[in-house]
């Protein structure tokens, strides 16, 4: 019997890979909650930006101090295989993404254990609780944004077979999963690489919408690819969350061109206005990059005015990370780190005020959602359509005299608001 300690870094797509790897282990394997007790330490790494690479390397160095064999997989292993192989002897087994088809052979050779299986996308060990799961619908990306290394790490865009997605959704539903979040690098173009370009994301959503899930959420929508049909379907559905995760990166046409982004700021303004018209209760989330090469004060001003105008419910902002192999790496007028951070902080300060104002507007509202955890005696955490998983949009806690368990559906009155978090009390019949 082999004991396994696992760390999964980076995005939800990486998490799904981790869940598939865990499901490929021998039936006798057991997960442990401490690296001290592990025969095998599995680290799924991220290499999207500099901070992610740093975290991955620090995690490897920290966990290599223990007696367990160290296996490293994921984007860092894929992107820097030769360098890591040469410079990090602490790693016992390095497995790039392109070799996942032979992962069972790697791990069997490393541990001496038999019974490792090939990765199966329909078999996962959920790490998100028994009632919530991510559902991957494609991999790779064809956008080639000049700041992003994903196409070079994960390859070109490839839609997952429609029937396989539906089958996995059925498996998840039958296991008791009530909430699914659809993920990919670009969710909006699902099906574009099929011979007839169908089924597309709207077809897929319609099928999932009829399967009995409590909540279906879309993440990673590319602004120029969002169709009226997609907006209309989301707006009319009771189970598809009225939640639009649309990274815009910036609101300067000058920078959007340098970033190799499709569309312009005016088109994005019209998109968000259309979403508000068609779906008045829509939650809008976006992501920005501060300090892209060539960015000037006028670019920053345009993005600030955009934020004031659109008033996103949630926003993440990252400083530009200069990534080898991308078009942005060789651009002139690279921005000093201090100025990048200052511009990021300016954007986040504005957004925090907007978030607080929006959160205060929710006070007094009654919202339905799913219990996702207990936070103390009589205090629980709920997830409504306002918030995506993993607390990326803050948390929502509520008090109740009822003894709840995860997965319960409850109605809560919002009684208090912080910058990013909400508090409430259960509405009892």
Which pLDDT score is estimated for 5? 97
User: φ, ψ for residue 194 (rounded to 5)?
Assistant: -75, 150
Predicted TM-score of the model (pTM): 0.96
Check if CATH label 1.10.238.10 holds for domain 366-426: no
Does position 370 have pLDDT exceeding 80, yes or no? yes
Ranges in the chain annotated CATH 3.40.50.12160: 3-111
- Decide if 39 contacts 11 (C-beta within 8 A): no
Strand partners of residue 394: 392
Q: In the predicted model, what is the mean pLDDT of residues 212-240?
A: 98
Which residues belong to CATH 3.80.30.20 in the chain? 132-361
Mean per-residue pLDDT, 101-117: 93
Distances (CA, A) of 248 to 251, 252, 265, 328, 418: 7, 10, 9, 17, 25
Annotated binding site: 11, 46, 75, 141, 145, 148
What confidence tens digit (pLDDT) does each residue in 19-69 have? 999 999 999 999 999 999 999 999 999 999 999 999 999 999 999 999 999
| Statement: residue 377 has pLDDT above 80 | yes
Backbone angles phi, psi at 6, to 5 degrees: -125, 140
Confidence of residue 1 (pLDDT cuts 50, 70, 90): confident
Q: Mean of the pLDDT values across residues 107-115?
A: 93
Round to the nearest angstrom and report the end-to-end CA distance of the chain: 50
Average pLDDT in the 396-400 region? 98
pLDDT of residue 73: 98
Distances (CA, A) of 134 to 1, 258, 354, 427: 29, 32, 29, 29
Residues annotated in a binding site for [4Fe-4S] cluster: 11, 46, 75, 141, 145, 148
CB neighbourhood size of 178 (10 A):
20
CB crowding 201-221: b at 16 or more within 10 Å, else e:
bbebbeebbeeebbbbbbbbb
Both structure tokens of 377? 């005696």
Fold of 3-111: Rossmann fold (3.40.50)
Q: What is the pLDDT of residues 54-65, one digit of tens each?
A: 999 999 999 999
Specify the DSSP element, H or E, that contains 216.
Answer: strand 215-218
- φ/ψ of 65, rounded to 5, equals -75, -15
Q: CATH number for the 132-361 domain, one of 3.40.50.2300, 3.30.43.10, 3.30.420.40, 3.80.30.20? A: 3.80.30.20
Residue spans in the chain of domains classed CATH 2.40.50.140: 366-426
d(CA 244, CA 275): 9
């Amino acid at each position: 019997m082999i004991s396994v300690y696992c760390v999964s870094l980076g995005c939800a797509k990486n998490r799904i890979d981790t869940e598939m790897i865990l499901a490929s282990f021998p039936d006798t394997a057991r997960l442990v909650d401490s690296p001290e007790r592990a025969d095998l330490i599995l680290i799924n790494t991220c290499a999207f930006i500099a901070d992610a690479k740093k975290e991955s390397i620090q995690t490897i160095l920290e966990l290599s101090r223990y007696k367990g064999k160290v296996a490293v997989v994921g984007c860092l292993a894929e992107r820097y295989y030769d360098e890591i192989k040469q410079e990090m002897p602490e790693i016992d087994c390095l497995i790039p993404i392109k070799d996942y088809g032979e992962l069972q052979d790697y791990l069997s050779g490393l541990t001496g254990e038999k019974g490792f299986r090939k990765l199966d996308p329909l078999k996962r060990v959920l790490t998100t609780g028994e009632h919530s799961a991510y559902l991957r619908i494609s991999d790779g990306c064809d956008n080639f944004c000049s700041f992003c290394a994903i196409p070079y790490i994960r390859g070109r865009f490839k839609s997952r077979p429609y029937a396989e997605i539906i089958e996995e959704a059925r498996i998840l539903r039958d296991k008791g999963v009530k909430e699914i979040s659809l993920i990919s690098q670009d969710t909006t173009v699902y099906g574009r690489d099929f011979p007839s370009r169908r089924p597309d994301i709207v077809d897929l959503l319609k099928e999932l919408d009829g399967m009995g899930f409590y909540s279906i959420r879309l993440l990673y929508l590319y602004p120029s690819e969002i169709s009226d049909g997609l907006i209309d379907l989301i707006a009319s559905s009771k189970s598809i969350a009225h939640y639009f995760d649309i990274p815009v990166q910036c609101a300067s046409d000058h920078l959007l061109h340098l970033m190799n982004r499709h569309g312009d700021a005016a088109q994005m303004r019209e998109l968000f206005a259309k979403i508000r018209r068609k779906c008045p209760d829509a939650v809008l989330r976006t992501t920005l990059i501060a300090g892209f090469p060539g960015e000037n004060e006028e670019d920053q001003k345009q993005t600030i005015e955009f934020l004031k105008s659109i008033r996103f419910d949630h926003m993440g902002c990252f400083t530009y990370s200069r990534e080898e192999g991308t078009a942005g790496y060789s651009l002139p007028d690279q921005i000093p780190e201090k100025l990048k951070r200052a511009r990021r902080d300016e954007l986040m300060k504005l957004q925090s005020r907007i978030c607080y104002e929006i959160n205060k507007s929710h006070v007094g509202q009654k919202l339905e959602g799913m219990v996702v955890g207990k936070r103390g005696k009589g205090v629980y955490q709920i997830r409504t359509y306002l918030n995506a998983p993993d607390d990326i949009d803050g948390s929502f806690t509520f008090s109740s005299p009822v003894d709840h368990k995860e997965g319960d559906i409850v109605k809560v009155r919002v009684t208090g608001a912080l910058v990013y978090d909400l508090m409430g009390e259960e509405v009892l019949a």
